Amino acid sequence: MTKVIDVSARASRAKELFLEGYNCSQAVALAYADIADVDAALLAKIAAPFGGGMGRLREVCGAVSGMTLLAGFISPNPKSDDVAAKRANYTLVQEFAEQFRKRNGAIVCRTLLGLDRQKDEPTPSERSEAYYKKRPCADLVYDAAEIVGEYLASH
């Protein structure tokens, strides 16, 4: 059975999840938990370490990591010797990343946030009105979920 993808609804749901307190990677992944066919609680656990650019190291944006995680379900590569599947998966990851880069200028968390430090302390920032005002993360999550949805709707 093919699922109908309402791209705007999925992207909005991802943004809502972020605003509820999920990190950027979790929010993107959870918006497509049904597509991944994974229990939402398990998917949230798997995606959790990728928030804050991988545990607040401010490396690859967590929203991009969420897309990458979903690419593993959309274009799976479960066998170590399946070169064609590996190529297809990597192609999809690169396509997602390039679309994100075109929209936002980068895929690296610290660059997207305008930070000059390599990493942050592991304690997450308190989610407050001020936090959401100074960070583009909710919109980045929306973009990432929209990119995944656009791909799924066209394939």
Domain hosting 148: range is 7-154
Cα separation, 115 vs 136, in Å, equals: 13
Q: Is residue 1 part of a domain?
A: no
Q: Is residue 116 part of a domain?
A: yes
Q: Which of 25, 31, 60 is nearest to 45 (CA)?
A: 25
pLDDT for the residue numbered 1: 34
Summarised one tens digit per residue, pLDDT across range 132-150 is 778 899 999 999 999 999 9
Q: Is residue 69 part of a domain?
A: yes
Number of domains forming the structure of the chain: 1
The pLDDT of 69-98, averaged and rounded, is 96
Q: Between residues 132 and 62, which one has the greater pLDDT?
A: 62
Summarised one tens digit per residue, pLDDT across range 5-58 is 899 999 999 999 999 999 999 999 999 999 988 999 999 999 999 999 999 999
Place of tokens 């920032």: 125
